[in-house]
Amino acid sequence: MYGQVVSLLITIPVYGQHDYSHTLVEDLEREGADYLIVDNRGDYSAIGSERIIRTRENLGWAGGSDLGFRIAFSEGYSHAMTLNNDTRISKGFVAALLDRRLPADAGIVGPMIDHGFPCAEADEKPAAADYLPRPVYRAVPTVEGTALVLSRDCWLTIGGLDLHTFQRYGWGIDLDLALRARNAGYGLYVTEMAYINHFGHKTADATFGRRRYAAAANLAKVRGMRKLHGRNWRKQFPPGSWAPPTLRKADVSQTYTSHPLVAGPVEQGAGEVRARAML
């Protein structure tokens, strides 16, 4: 996963709801992160020195994320991330996602989350600023697109986001990405050293309405996954890993395995982790 120097560009696709974005920007500045605002509505107002790309049309979350990945890897970053604007991040967030103690086969990495895919949910759900990191990672079947890191090697091997199949909403893109990465031999991991609060579909709800948006997005997801991975695509994910278990007694802990983060001989003191890598 890592060479001598690892670097990360975080893309935040936005469409209005700028109060959320501004608060997240403050978190990213605290972390010394490299980040990019993809402004899908053309009205984002900077509160500092944010790097902003204003699109000619609304690319949506999926298109904005894909643009960010392409920019990151064309500029030489070793890793790229898409991060929802309606999130808050824990202290040490960037360093945790680039942790050299993660397995060498890591292609996709994500943080713990308060509300999201159950395989990444924390038992306790503090404010992000109060989160206490643990030197543990989870091997998971998928990583949620809300906060998803992709390595350049994985990107080059499996290709980008499938915008054509999943259309404007992008639901299911992360599941498709997970299956393609797994099939190519990459590991998918969630690190308990990083954590986010996710306030949930704020932009979509304000633009389309919750029920209307969720119904259309879910339909596009199911159609897309059936087209690409067959009618039994759900069987490639343990029950409850990406959606709440249908049975109350379902054990979400069976959807992942936990492992300690331990530095190996190469990782100890070797190389450099860059946040502001491209200044």
Q: With beta carbons less than 8 A apart as the criterion, state whether 138 and 166 touch.
A: no
Q: With beta carbons less than 8 A apart as the criterion, state whether 196 and 87 touch.
A: yes
Domain count, the chain: 1
CA 6-12-13 angle, to 5 degrees, is 140
Confidence (pLDDT) at 269: 41
The per-residue b/e assignment along 102-136, b for 16 or more CB within 10 angstroms, e otherwise, is: bbeebbbbbbbbbebbbbbbbeeeeebeebebeee
**Residue 67 counted as domain residue:** yes
**Residue 165 counted as domain residue:** yes
Percentage of the chain lying above the pLDDT 70 cut: 87
**Residue 279 counted as domain residue:** no
Average pLDDT value for residue range 201-219: 69
Whether pLDDT at 50 is above 80: yes
The Cα–Cα gap between 10 and 27 comes to 12
| Band of pLDDT at residue 276, cut at 50, 70 and 90 | very low
pLDDT (tens digit, 9 = 90+) per residue, 59-92? 999 999 999 999 999 999 999 999 999 999 999 9
Whether pLDDT at 275 is above 90: no
**Residue 219 counted as domain residue:** yes
| Band of pLDDT at residue 209, cut at 50, 70 and 90 | low
**Residue 211 counted as domain residue:** yes
Give the predicted TM-score (pTM) of the model.
0.90
Confidence (pLDDT) at 205: 52
Question: Cα–Cα distances in Å, from 54 out to 40, 64, 77, 208?
Answer: 6, 10, 21, 21
pLDDT (tens digit, 9 = 90+) per residue, 85-113? 999 999 999 999 999 999 999 999 999 99
Q: With beta carbons less than 8 A apart as the criterion, state whether 120 and 218 touch.
A: no
Q: 197: domain range?
A: 5-271
User: What is the CATH number for 95?
Assistant: 3.90.550.10
The sign of the torsion formed by the CA atoms of 107, 111, 113, 119 equals positive
Residue that the structure tokens 């079947």 belong to: 141
**Residue 278 counted as domain residue:** no
In this structure, what are the phi and psi dihedrals at residue 34, rounded to the nearest 5 degrees? -85, 125
**Residue 276 counted as domain residue:** no
Confidence (pLDDT) at 245: 65
pLDDT (tens digit, 9 = 90+) per residue, 223-251? 999 999 999 999 999 998 998 766 545 67
**Residue 277 counted as domain residue:** no
Token duo for residue 85 = 């604007």
